[in-house]
């Protein structure tokens, strides 16, 4: 009676927070800390009891047009309660018999769970130290795959390492594997919007991009995501997308952020400067040679878990929770630090980071 594929799934488990009640800074899930001005006034009327007894308005045209303007390309956009929900719909809509999906590890493990639960075979390429220091080297590996999967899932910029593929590299992959669908997860692209592959949509029918409001937009609790693709793919997705699943609160949030986009730009600029400051502290001990940063986190690569755990525990003693990163086969270990934008939060992180190097 049970789905046999679900029986074999290892559940997605976010890092533990319940055990750390004394923590001042939660820098483990890459939530961002922009507080949008006047947003509370916009959504408050929508959460009164009389506003909650009906389904949301099904007319999403204004919301979609506003997002299309932000994306800056002629495309088809579909809305979801989170980009992980978008992944599930895409995997369902484009599933074929004996289908396979290609992923990089470490990556976003919830995607692996979604794919496994639908019966996909998982082709995993585990990142090595040299891949993280040189994504061009990794790109050459992707070009040389002996067998093309049905679906590629690539995060760009990549989490947890922060590496990026260029738009030219993405296009070369789209052309070489033209019979494969590419899901490009751009959850972090709002920190470096020029990295987006959205301009490739009109030329390549095998491309679907997913975006999130959880990272740069600092709205993880709103559960908002959207996909960008061509009209044909979008129409195919619409056959199964629940038209009621995005709330009026979520749509109001989207419209408010689009109308006040300069707040996001200022926040992103501050975050990127703070990432550089943390890099200047740790660059001499970081085995990753990455020196360009396009996300709201900083990734440290270690040769062994002892050294990694030493820094993790030092931060924890200073009431700062970070995220341990290990590859699925345990061959790679690192530490990911979400970088705050608020002055007091960042000051605490920076002081602790400098104190660690004095040990």
Supply the pLDDT for residue 69: 97
- Beta-strand pair 207-212/297-302: unpaired
The pLDDT tens digits of the residues spanning 32-65 come to 999 999 999 999 988 887 778 888 989 999 999 9
Supply the pLDDT for residue 22: 84
Supply the pLDDT for residue 15: 74
| End-to-end Cα distance, the chain | 57
Q: 13: pLDDT confidence band, cut at 50, 70 and 90?
A: confident
Percent of the chain at pLDDT > 70 equals 100
Walk me through the domains of the chain, giving residue ranges and CATH numbers.
4-36+262-357 (3.90.1150.10), 55-260 (3.40.640.10)
Task: Return the residue matching tokens 């062994």.
Answer: 304
Q: 159: pLDDT confidence band, cut at 50, 70 and 90?
A: very high
Mean pLDDT value of segment 348-354: 98
| 293 vs 267: CA distance, rounded Å | 15
Supply the pLDDT for residue 62: 95
* 324 three-state secondary structure: strand
Mean pLDDT value of segment 275-279: 97
The pLDDT tens digits of the residues spanning 88-147 come to 999 999 999 889 999 999 999 999 999 999 999 999 999 988 888 888 889 999 999 999
The pLDDT tens digits of the residues spanning 223-249 come to 999 999 999 999 999 999 998 999 999
Mean pLDDT value of segment 197-203: 98
The pLDDT tens digits of the residues spanning 56-95 come to 989 999 999 999 999 999 999 999 999 999 999 999 999 9
Supply the pLDDT for residue 289: 84
Does residue 51 or residue 342 have the better pLDDT? Answer: 342
Percent of the chain at pLDDT > 90 equals 82
Query: Using an 8 Å Cβ cutoff, are 150 and 96 in contact?
Result: yes
- Please list, residue by residue across 269-292, b when 16 or more beta carbons sit within 10 angstroms of its beta carbon and e when fewer do: ebbbebbeebbebbeeebebebee
The whole-chain average pLDDT of the chain stands at 94
Locate all alpha helices (DSSP H) within the chain, ordered by sequence: 4-7, 39-43, 49-52, 61-71, 83-93, 109-117, 129-133, 135-143, 167-176, 231-238, 248-259, 261-282, 305-317, 343-357
Q: 214: pLDDT confidence band, cut at 50, 70 and 90?
A: very high
pLDDT over 90 at 300, yes or no: yes
Please state whether the predicted TM-score (pTM) of the whole model is above 0.85: yes
Supply the pLDDT for residue 17: 79
């Amino acid at each position: 009676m049970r789905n046999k594929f679900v029986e074999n799934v290892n559940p997605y488990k976010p890092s533990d927070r319940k055990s750390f009640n004394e923590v001042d800074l939660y820098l483990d899930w890459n939530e961002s800390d922009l507080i949008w001005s006047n947003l509370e006034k916009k959504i408050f009327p929508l959460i009164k009891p009389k506003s909650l007894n009906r389904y949301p308005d099904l007319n999403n045209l204004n919301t979609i047009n506003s997002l299309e303007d932000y994306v800056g390309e002629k495309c088809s956009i579909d809305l979801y309660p989170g980009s992980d929900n978008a992944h599930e719909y895409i995997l369902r809509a484009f599933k074929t018999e004996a289908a396979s999906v290609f992923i990089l590890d470490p990556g976003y493990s919830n995607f692996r769970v979604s794919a496994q639960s639908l019966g996909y075979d998982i082709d995993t390429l585990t990142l090595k130290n040299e891949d993280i220091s040189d994504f061009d080297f990794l790109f050459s590996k992707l070009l040389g795959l002996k067998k093309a999967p049905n679906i590629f899932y690539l995060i760009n910029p990549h989490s947890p390492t922060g590496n990026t593929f260029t738009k030219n590299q993405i296009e070369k992959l789209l052309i070489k594997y033209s019979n494969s669908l590419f899901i490009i997860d751009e959850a972090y692209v709002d920190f470096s919007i020029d990295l987006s592959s959205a301009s490739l949509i009109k030329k390549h029918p095998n491309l679907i991009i997913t975006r999130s409001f959880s990272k740069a937009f600092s709205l993880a609790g709103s559960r908002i995501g959207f996909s960008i693709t061509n009209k044909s793919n979008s129409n195919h997705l619409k056959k199964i997308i629940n038209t009621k699943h995005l709330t009026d609160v979520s749509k109001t949030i989207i419209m408010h952020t689009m109308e006040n986009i300069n707040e996001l730009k200022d926040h992103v600029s501050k975050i990127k400067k703070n990432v550089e400051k943390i890099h200047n502290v740790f660059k001499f001990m970081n085995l990753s040679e990455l020196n360009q940063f396009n996300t709201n986190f900083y990734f440290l690569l270690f040769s062994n878990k002892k050294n990694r755990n030493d820094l993790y525990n030092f931060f924890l003693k200073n009431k700062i929770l970070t995220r341990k990163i290990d590859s699925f086969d345990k061959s790679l270990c690192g530490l990911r630090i979400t970088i705050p934008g608020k002055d007091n939060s960042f000051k605490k992180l920076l002081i602790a980071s400098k104190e660690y190097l004095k040990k």
